[in-house]
A and B are shown apart, each in its own frame.
Chain A
Amino acid sequence: MNKVWLIIQREFLIRVTKKSFLITTILVPLIIPVVIGGLIYVMVKESESAKPDTVMVVDESHQFTLDSTKNTKRFHFVSLDMKLEQAKKAYNETKDFALLYVPPFDISNPEGLVIYTQENPSIEKVGDLESILEERVRDLKLQEFKIDKEVLKNLKTKINLKQINLSKTGEEKTSNAGILYGMGFALGILIYIFVLVYGIQIMQGVIDEKTSRVVEIIVSSVKPFQLMLGKIVGIAAVGVVQFLIWIILITFLSTGVLGYFGLKMPQKQMMEEVSKKIKDDEIKQAVQQQQTQSNDKINEVLQNVNEIPFAKIAFVFVFYFLGGYLLYGALFAAVGSAVESIQESQQFQFPITLPLLIGYFGLFMFILRDPHGPVSFWLSVIPFTSPVAMVGRIAFDVPTWQLILSMLMLIGGFIFTTWVAGRIYRVGILMTGTKVNWKVMAKWFMMRE
């Protein structure tokens, strides 16, 4: 046991003292907030610098009053009192966004409106312009039908469905499918990547020992199984340490970055600007109302986030990371012992990671759509897929008996794969120059000690 400890120490230390470990451990958490920060920065800058596009209007119907008081945030309308042909020429001499031509039209069936632009306009902008025009036509219709705008406004009602899970004990829990979906998605993918990355590290380590021939010296001091176990556990420790450093750094840095930009969140800024500009009390009131509404929404989200059992999820995540890693790590070790180069290992890598891949696809196709369906249940209980599946599912309130069953199965699963891998490994590491296929590996497995 003492010797396994020595092996764990060595495997751990040689990896964490490598420059590449230091670089990835520090760079990854730096990159993530930098990317987030960069995106926010660009968004803020854009909204700060965005000026409304000027649209020249030739209104032959004289029904639109697109004058400057009716300007929106995105468009600045300039009425031209001239013929279309002249306007086109005038427009071409400017750098304005567009020229809008409104012929005399029938309110019930407005046709013949044309927009001339110098460059291809984005669909979004055209859409915005269309909706402004539609609104204007609607106002005209309201006038015609003698309907008061205010009455209509009062008719419009917005409903936000609050989601509550009613548990059997009668306890009420707010839930938010969106947040849970996002969490399940992110955690499932994280597990998948972690298991794969660290599993390949095990394989690489075994191949190095085998090709450098140091392995025979080591196994004259310890049992092959001890060497394999020491390597797997040592690399797991590297993974856990790296993960913890990431969590700490990312939390710290992201808080810092968001804190800096938080005061200048684009939405908030937009509302401030709007309320500054708008003098009309009524509209101001409406905006305020809207603001409180959106505050409600944020509060609701925050409340939902608070109700997610983070401690439980973190525990389950670490458990399934270690369990999945041990289960697949042993298989990677067995493959490493059988081959003599990474290239040679390719043919075995795919079949052993296939169940993991199934779990990964199952996450999208079943678990996130129907977390409590039968396929989701089986995917999250079978040990080969459960690391990805259960972690993706855990945010959706998995029944305790299912969680315990899945955990026990996973423990049983990695004991089984470690046993199988150990039998292949002890023979494989001393075999060189053999062409290895599944049959040969099966033979090694059956071989007596």
Chain B
Amino acid sequence: MEALLVTDVSKRYADHTALDKVSLSIPEKTIFGLLGPNGAGKTTLIRIVNQIINRDEGEVLIFGEKLKPAHIEQIGYLPEERGLYKKMKVGDQLLYLAQLKGLSRKEALIRIKIWLEKFEIKDWWNKKVEDLSKGMAQKIQFISTVLHEPKLIILDEPFSGFDPVNAQLITEKILELRDNGSTIVFSTHRMETVESLCDHIALINKSKKILEGAKKQVKEQYRSNTFLVEHRGNHFSLPTDKYELKKQSVLEDDLYESTIQAKSGIKGNQLIRELVDVTEVFSFQEQLPSMADIFISLVRGEGDEALKKHLHEN
């Protein structure tokens, strides 16, 4: 079942269209990357799912049910522009936010203790938020997002404001939540996050979805049949009607790295077979396009063909 199924959702304001018939399908128990440049409409979509604003058209199903107010208790939302009540104490604040999400006071108290222990910040209970550093406040914010054990967690740029150590800590917690059955939606520009964490992605640009799918498949879709080979000696040649040597560089002494693009229809295995006859191969791997490459090319408004060409040239 889909954790979130968005069908033809549109949102128009007086002077512009924020979302134009966007459809998305976010599978359960995955980490989903919602990508797109600033102003593409990501936040609008997320706000619609969170019922902060209403859609003009289209349908949103959450775990198979039509979106209704009761669903907010199943969603954990960390907005990009986030904040806490500065004058409130950490403990009171978490308690308040958890109760607003429908937790009982008792239950909330137990869970807050567990989470504060997880982050080893038990003694922060009585600290005011204004006395915390930005990174510290972010931790509290993250806890407030997941405290009610939401089945769907929407994180808008979750790593901004974290140092690498804490970013790693948060990443671990996110994976833990996924393993425990939550579905996680990332909205981000950070491609390394997408590369390392996301199973599925969707790309929104200028109010429209322009790409969606499992990360592997997307990469597959944009593969250019290019291979990276480490080998000894460069005194060989491959049939030029089948292969093109894009780049060659010396690694050390007699060790070279070559980027070879095969004509379509020619598999990697065939290239290996031909290579082992002429040189000593140390490593062989297919060069897949990075998410960053795909993102940038698509957003620049280049079509699929142009993208492929762009990727081929690299």
- What mask results when residues 9 to 51 of chain B are scored 1 for a CB within 8 Å of chain A, else 0? 0000110000000000000000000000000000000010011
Contact A218 B100 (CB under 8 A): yes
| Residue of chain B at shortest CB distance from A215 | B83
Assembled-state Cα–Cα distance A193/B76 (Å) = 42
Q: Residue-by-residue, is A429-447 near B (CB-CB < 8 Å gives 1, otherwise 0)?
A: 0101000000000010001
Given A14-B88, A432-B81, decide whether A216 and B52 contact each other with a Cβ distance below 8 A.
yes
- Taking a contact as CB atoms under 8 Å apart, the answer to whether A216 and B100 are in contact is no
**Closest chain B residue, CB of each to CB of A443:** B14
A221 touching B101, Cβ below 8 Å: yes
CB neighbours of A447 from chain B (8 A): 13-14
A448 touches B83 (CB 8 A): no
Closest residue of chain A to B11 (Cβ to Cβ) is A448
A-B contact pairs, 20 of them (CB 8 A): A3-B100, A6-B96, A6-B99, A208-B86, A209-B85, A212-B85, A213-B79, A214-B83, A214-B85, A216-B52, A216-B79, A217-B97, A218-B97, A218-B100, A220-B52, A220-B72, A221-B72, A221-B101, A223-B69, A448-B56
Does B75 interact with chain A (Cβ within 8 Å)? yes
At the interface, yes or no: A222 with Cβ under 8 Å from chain B? yes
Which of B13, B54, B79, B87 contacts A220, CB < 8 Å? B79
A103-B186 Cα distance, complex, nearest whole Å: 106
Question: Which residues of chain B have C-beta atoms less than 8 A from A281's C-beta?
Answer: none
Closest to B99 in A: A6
Is chain A's binding surface mostly helix, strand, loop or mixed?
helix
Binary flags per residue of A1-32, CB closer than 8 Å to B gives 1, else 0: 00100110010001000000000000000000
The residues of A that contact B51 with a CB separation of less than 8 Å are 220
Inter-chain CA distance A212–B144, complex, in Å, is 16
Give chain B's interface residues, CB within 8 Å of chain A. Answer: 13-14, 47, 50-54, 56, 69, 72, 75, 77, 79, 81-88, 96-97, 99-101, 144
Expressed in whole angstroms, the Cα–Cα distance for A220 and B86 within the complex equals 19
User: Which residues of B have CB within 8 Å of A214?
Assistant: 82-85
Query: Is A115's CB within 8 Å of the partner chain B?
Result: no
CB distance from A22 to the nearest CB of B (A): 15
Contact B54 A213 (CB under 8 A): no
By a CB distance below 8 angstroms, the chain A residues around B100 are 3, 6-7, 218, 221-222
Chain B residue at minimal CB-CB distance from A429: B52
- From residue B128, how far is it (CB to closest CB) to chain A in Å? 11
Q: How far is the CA of A3 from the CA of B98 in the complex (A)?
A: 11
From B47, B51, B54, B96, residue with most partner A Cβ within 10 Å: B96
Bound state CA distance, A253 and B72, in angstroms?
51
Closest to B84 in A: A214
A219 to B96, Cβ gap below 8 A?
A: no
A14 touching B52 by the CB < 8 A rule?
Answer: no
Q: How far is the CB of A24 from chain B (nearest CB, A)?
A: 17
Q: Which 6 A-B pairs have the closest CB atoms?
A: A213-B83, A221-B100, A212-B83, A216-B79, A220-B77, A220-B50
Whether, in the assembled complex, A124 has its beta carbon less than 8 Å from a beta carbon of chain B, the answer is no
A6-B99, A448-B54, A449-B54 known; A217 vs B79 contact (CB < 8 Å): yes
Cross-chain contact A216 with B99 (CB below 8 angstroms): no
Output the nearest chain B residue to A214 by Cβ-Cβ distance: B83
Query: Shortest beta-carbon distance, B226 to chain A, in Å?
Result: 44
Report which residue of A14, A212, A432, A447 has the largest number of chain B beta carbons within 10 angstroms of its beta carbon.
Answer: A212
Interface size on A, residues (CB 8 A): 24
Contact between A213 and B81, CB atoms less than 8 A apart: yes
Which A residues lie within 8 Å of B83 (CB)? 212-214, 217
Chain B's closest residue to A9 (CB) is B96
Assuming the A-B contacts A212-B85, A213-B79, are A430 and B52 also in contact, with contact meaning beta carbons closer than 8 angstroms in the complex? yes
How far, in angstroms, from A304 to B139 measured CA to CA in the complex?
A: 66
Pick the residue among A3, A7, A212 that contacts B86 (CB under 8 A). Answer: A212
Residues of chain A at the chain B interface (Cβ within 8 Å): 3, 6-7, 10, 14, 208-209, 212-214, 216-223, 430, 432, 443, 447-449
Residues of B within 8 A of A6 (CB): 96, 99-100
Using A217-B82, A217-B97, A430-B53 as known contacts, list a sample of 17 further A-B pairs with CB atoms less than 8 Å apart, ordered by residue number in A.
Answer: A3-B100, A14-B87, A214-B83, A214-B84, A216-B79, A216-B81, A217-B144, A218-B97, A218-B100, A219-B52, A220-B50, A220-B72, A220-B79, A221-B100, A447-B14, A448-B54, A448-B56
Query: Which residues on B sit within 8 Å (CB–CB) of A430?
Result: 47, 52-53
Provide the residues of chain B in CB contact with A449, threshold 8 Å.
53-54
B75 and A10 form a contact (CB under 8 A)? no
Q: How far is the CA of A449 from the CA of B50 in the complex (A)?
A: 14
A221 neighbours in B (Cβ, 8 Å): 72, 97, 100-101
In the complex, the chain A residue whose C-beta lies closest to that of B148 is A221
Bound: A151/B283 CA distance, A: 137
Instruction: Evaluate contact between B144 and A220: CB separation under 8 angstroms.
Output: no
Smallest CB gap from B46: residue in A: A220
Determine the chain A residues whose CB is within 8 A of the CB of B54 once the complex forms: 448-449
Q: What CA separation (Å) do A392 and B83 show in the bound complex?
A: 44
What distance in Å separates the Cβ of B133 from its nearest Cβ neighbour in chain A?
16
CB A234 to nearest CB in B, in angstroms, measures 13
Nearest-Cβ distance from residue A438 to partner chain B, whole angstroms: 16
Q: Note all chain A residues with C-beta closer than 8 A to B72.
A: 220-221
A285 CB, nearest partner CB in chain B, Å: 71
How many whole Å from A28's CB to the nearest CB in chain B?
23
Chain B proximity of A257: nearest CB distance (Å): 37
Instruction: Give the CA-CA distance A430 to B43 in the complex, in Å.
Output: 11
Bound-state Cα–Cα, A220 to B76, Å: 9
Hey, which chain B residues are within 8 Å of A209, CB to CB? 85
**Cα A220 to Cα B46 with chains together (Å):** 10
CA distance A214 to B94 in the complex (A): 12
In Å, the complex CA distance between A219 and B53 comes to 10
Shortest CB distance B127–A (Å) = 16
Chain B residues with CB under 8 Å of A448's CB are 54, 56
Q: Which residues of B contact A220 (CB under 8 A)?
A: 50-52, 72, 75, 77, 79
By a CB distance below 8 angstroms, the chain A residues around B99 are 6
B96 x A216 contact (CB < 8 A): no
Cα(A327)–Cα(B96), bound, Å: 28
Please name all residues of chain B whose beta carbon is closer than 8 Å to the beta carbon of A218 when the two chains form the complex. 97, 100
Complex CA–CA separation, A217 to B72 (angstroms): 11
User: Does the CB pair B52–A10 fall under 8 Å?
Assistant: no
How distant is the Cα of A213 from the Cα of B85 in the complex, in angstroms? 9
Closest Cβ–Cβ distance, residue A442 to chain B (whole Å): 12
Chain A neighbourhood of B14, CB < 8 A: 443, 447
Q: Are B79 and A212 in contact (CB under 8 A)?
A: no
Closest to B81 in A: A213
In Å, the complex CA distance between A213 and B134 comes to 14
In Å, the complex CA distance between A222 and B101 comes to 8
Q: Which residue of A lies closest to B72 (CB)?
A: A221
